[in-house]
C-alpha cells in the first residue's frame, strides 16, 4: 500500500494518527481499519458500528446519509479516504457528530447529474471542518481573538510564547492531512477554536485528544452554524510545525498571512 510508504509519520500534524501506520501498511487496509474501529467501539450517532466499505457501497445515495443510515463508510484505498478512516478512529465522537450534522443539513438527495441546491451555511461549515478542519484547543481568549482577527505578527511573533503555552493544534480534516503529505507554505486550514482551561492544554497527548473528542462532539451541531465560525489558519505557521517559521520574516509573506479584509472569523454564540 503506497499511502503508508509515502507518509512522514514524525510530522507533528500526524501525532493523533501514528497508531494507524501499521493499519495502512496491511495488504487489506480497509479490513484492518474496520477491525480497529470495532475494537474501539466506533459508532455513528445512531449507535451503528462503523465499517469501512468498498468505494461504491453507497451507490447513488448521498454519502453522509448512507453512513448515518448504515454505518458503512465508502472508502477507496487511497490516502484521502484512508486518512478519513483514521480520523474516525482518532476522533470517533466528533466524526460521528459531523456525519449526523452533515446528513441532517443535507435534506433529500439530489437526482444524479443534477445541480445540488440543498447546500446551506451549516452544511458548508460541516464540509470545511470534515475535509480541511483543524481543532485548536485554546485556553487564552486573547490568542483566540488574535487568530479570529488574523493578527499574524502579534499571534506568532509578538505573543509566540502565549500561543505555544495556551494552545493544542490537532488536524481533523482528511483532505488537509493528504495535502500535508507534501507540505507547502500556503496550506491553510479552517480552525474550530475550542475554548478550554489550562489544565486541558497540560494533559498528556492521548488523554487530551480523548477529552476534546468527548467534550466538543455534543457542541458541534450548535456551534457549526456557518463557515464564519471557522478561522483561517496557515498550518505551517504554527510554532514547532515547520523549521522555517522560527524567524519573524516567515510571517511577512502577505500572500499567505493575509489581513482579514472583512473575513474575520466569528465566535460561536
Burial 61-86 (b: 16+ CB within 10 A, else e): ebbbbbbbebbbbbbebebebbbbbb
Sequence spans of domains, the chain: 2-118, 128-252
Burial 214-226 (b: 16+ CB within 10 A, else e): eebbeebbebbee
- Whose cell is 522560527? That residue is 246
Q: What cell numbers appear for 76 in the block?
A: 477507496
Does the pTM exceed 0.85? yes
CA contacts within 13 A on the Cβ side of 259: 1
Determine the Cα–Cα distance for residues 175 and 133; give it in Å rounded to an integer: 9
Kindly state the helix (H) or strand (E) to which residue 52 belongs, with its residue range: strand 51-53
Q: Looking at the chain, how many residues does it have?
A: 269
> For each successive 10 residues of the chain (269 residues), what is the average pLDDT?
70 96 94 97 97 87 90 95 98 97 67 52 94 98 97 97 98 98 97 98 98 98 94 98 96 92 70
Determine the Cα–Cα distance for residues 143 and 233; give it in Å rounded to an integer: 13
Position 119 scores a pLDDT of 67
Determine the Cα–Cα distance for residues 85 and 24; give it in Å rounded to an integer: 10
Position 167 scores a pLDDT of 98
Q: What cell numbers appear for 228 in the block?
A: 464564519
Dihedrals φ, ψ of 192, to 5°?
-95, 110
Dihedrals φ, ψ of 169, to 5°?
-105, 130
Determine the Cα–Cα distance for residues 18 and 9; give it in Å rounded to an integer: 6
Which strands, in side-by-side order, build the sheet including 167-171?
Answer: 167-171, 133-138, 188-195, 231-234
Q: Give the other-Cβ count within 10 Å of 269's Cβ.
A: 7
Closest CA to 105 of 128, 72, 74, 73: 128
Amino acid at each position: 500500500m503506497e499511502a503508508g510508504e509515502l507518509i512522514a509519520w514524525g510530522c507533528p500534524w500526524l501525532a493523533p494518527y501514528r497508531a494507524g501506520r501499521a493499519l495502512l501498511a496491511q495488504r487489506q487496509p480497509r479490513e484492518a481499519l474496520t477491525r480497529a474501529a470495532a475494537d474501539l467501539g466506533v459508532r455513528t450517532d445512531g449507535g451503528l458500528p462503523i465499517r469501512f466499505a468498498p468505494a461504491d457501497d453507497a451507490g447513488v445515495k448521498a454519502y453522509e446519509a448512507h453512513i448515518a443510515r448504515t454505518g458503512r463508510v465508502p472508502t477507496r484505498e487511497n490516502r484521502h479516504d484512508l486518512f478519513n478512516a483514521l480520523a474516525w478512529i482518532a476522533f470517533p465522537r466528533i466524526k460521528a457528530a459531523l456525519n449526523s450534522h452533515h446528513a441532517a443539513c443535507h435534506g433529500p438527495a439530489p437526482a444524479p447529474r443534477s445541480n445540488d441546491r440543498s447546500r446551506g451555511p451549516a452544511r458548508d461549515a460541516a464540509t470545511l471542518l470534515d475535509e480541511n478542519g483543524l481543532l485548536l484547543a485554546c485556553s487564552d481568549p486573547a490568542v483566540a481573538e488574535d487568530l479570529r482577527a488574523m493578527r499574524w505578527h502579534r499571534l506568532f511573533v509578538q505573543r509566540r510564547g502565549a500561543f505555544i503555552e495556551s494552545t493544542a493544534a490537532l488536524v481533523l480534516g482528511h483532505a488537509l492531512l493528504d495535502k500535508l503529505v507534501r507540505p507547502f507554505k500556503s496550506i491553510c486550514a479552517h480552525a474550530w477554536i475550542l475554548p478550554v482551561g489550562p489544565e486541558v492544554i497540560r494533559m498528556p497527548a492521548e488523554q487530551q485528544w480523548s477529552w476534546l473528542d468527548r467534550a466538543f462532539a455534543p457542541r458541534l451541531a450548535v456551534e457549526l452554524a456557518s463557515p464564519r465560525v471557522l478561522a483561517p489558519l496557515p498550518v505551517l505557521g504554527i510554532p514547532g510545525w515547520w523549521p522555517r517559521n522560527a524567524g519573524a520574516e516567515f510571517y511577512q509573506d502577505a500572500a499567505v498571512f493575509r489581513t482579514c479584509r472583512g473575513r474575520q472569523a466569528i465566535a460561536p454564540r
